[in-house]
Structure 1
């Protein structure tokens, strides 16, 4: 098969491109190249999707499948217009952020969506979900339900996670900031997590392309309580020191952010508003062949990658060592 990956130089796109190549397909990546070049052995076409003529080098060819990971409706609009007559199918990697209801666990693909973003550009992550809805509508409008696949991904993790949400916990348990080995964790009973390994998502996308699978699918990892996720991270790190829990109210009162960003604790989300955010039904994707590896394997592989990683600036999620030590001291003295 002939794959055209729109992107293919950053984390997810590169993993999909590599998986397709390993399946024996001919793969072309179209990207600006700011994240690097395409993986070795894969054709790279330089193109800025925000500029006219971005697809000039690929519209003269026929493609079995186009894979798109964009969050910008304008980029998707130009892509489907240029490639609608040249591609047999279009796979768009969307997000669980498209759903309007984040509080109800167990919802499937029929759950209500946010309103689509108006305009071509997502100006900030505050409208990420709305932007992905707009992108989905553009793909379905151009390719129809029978020639398109929408993969609404959950939190993606694994080696290469530069967003720091899945690497933080195994690395922190491996390298505690406190002298006595204590690690600060959110104590949020009932909160669920749903991490899908980037390699499993990429493999399923390639398999789905080969099978001509069409439709809309939630592509999430297994639903695991946060406490269990943290226990797995602690186990792969070999941590034996104290685990110090702080409830959500205490963390918020001490300016610790949920989910991601500076001075945050990854994977923690406020309840009850986000009880369903990482607890969606992905049974349809599993029936269509999605297989996910054990969480311990994902976290162990991510920890190995973290230990070899050369960070580029501050981490994008988690607590700095000094902040964690100060918080642990305040919690102990409070």
Structure 2
């Protein structure tokens, strides 16, 4: 397969390119080249998708592609790609997100949940319109290539090596480096919250397989159903932690400035907002029926933690409690 990856230097795009070239495919990545290098064996073509001729190097001169895989969040970039590549590519695989859904309170949900309205315009100015921007991107792909030549993968929480957000690496890393007395670690008292992690390598492998086989459709590309309590317990096991685990209720954590999900002084993966508690509850049954296979989450967390140990400290983790904050909160709880 001649595969064109739009990107290929950041977490998921790089994993896609690496898996595809390892599988014997002819892989080209079109990227600006500012986020890193493409994997060995991949052809890199420099291009800026924000310009009208940014895709010329992969569309002119009789270029033909069996498949394109795109991870962009900018509607203008996706619209330009669809217009330029539809005449020269057989199919288009677009990586979207579960943030496209208008409702996140349901449990055991699937792809039938209503969508947000699409973003008007070509540019997502900030993350407050991330879901709407991805809805617009999906619409451009499905309209331009048609449903039979398109695959839309609405990814859930992606974790594993290369997770610069730190969401999948925080808990095993913290259990390996506790800061509380006698190794105490603070956790939210919310063990039944639905939450799942899809390993970046498993998602990449599935995207490449779908591109090669011509699989079409819209899928929730999520990890095996799990809970926050289950993920935290696995993280503790991975780290070999045997100190105290101190759980605090949502109201107390909120009163003391602890944020949900991610951001400064946050509890990663935790969502107490009732309108968002179903974000991690999509079943992913359709994607698994279409071949998405997930490794044990312990492996994902172990490799995410290993990445935390060696990651570039000039790119700070974007979630978790600081050591000072966690010590202070544990002291307030008597630990």
Q: What is the TM-score of this pair, normalised by structure 1?
A: 0.98
The answer on whether the counterparts of 1:71 and 1:131 sit within 8 Å (CA) in structure 2 is yes
Which deviations, in whole Å up to 9, do the C-alpha atoms of 1:107-159 show, x marking residues without a partner? 11111000101111111111111100000000001000000000000000001
Pick one of 316, 319, 322 that aligns with 2:318: 316
Describe how 1:1-334 pairs up with structure 2 within 5 A.
Answer: 1-60=1-60, 61-332=63-334
List runs of 5+ in structure 1 lacking aligned partners: none
Whole-angstrom distance in 2 between the partners of 1:281 and 1:124: 29
The answer on whether the counterparts of 2:266 and 2:319 sit within 8 Å (CA) in structure 1 is yes
Whole-angstrom distance in 2 between the partners of 1:201 and 1:156: 8
Offset of residue 272 of structure 1: 2.4
More off after superposition, 86-95 vs 324-333:
324-333
The answer on whether the counterparts of 2:67 and 2:212 sit within 8 Å (CA) in structure 1 is no
The answer on whether the counterparts of 1:191 and 1:271 sit within 8 Å (CA) in structure 2 is no
The answer on whether the counterparts of 2:224 and 2:283 sit within 8 Å (CA) in structure 1 is no
Offset of residue 309 of structure 1: 2.5
Whole-angstrom distance in 2 between the partners of 1:250 and 1:173: 22
Whole-angstrom distance in 1 between the partners of 2:295 and 2:191: 25
Give the 3-state SS of the residue equivalent to 1:213 in structure 2. coil
Query: Given the superposition, is the C-alpha separation of residues 313 and 37 from structure 1 closer, same or farther in structure 2, using an over 3 Å criterion?
Result: closer
The answer on whether the counterparts of 2:3 and 2:68 sit within 8 Å (CA) in structure 1 is yes
Which deviations, in whole Å up to 9, do the C-alpha atoms of 1:257-299 show, x marking residues without a partner? 1000111110000142222110002111111111001111111
List runs of 5+ in structure 2 lacking aligned partners: none
Q: What is the TM-score of this pair, normalised by structure 2?
A: 0.97
- Measured on the aligned residues, the alpha-carbon RMSD in Å equals 1.1
Give the 3-state SS of the residue equivalent to 1:318 in structure 2. coil
Offset of residue 163 of structure 1: 0.6
Offset of residue 308 of structure 1: 2.5
Whole-angstrom distance in 2 between the partners of 1:186 and 1:257: 11
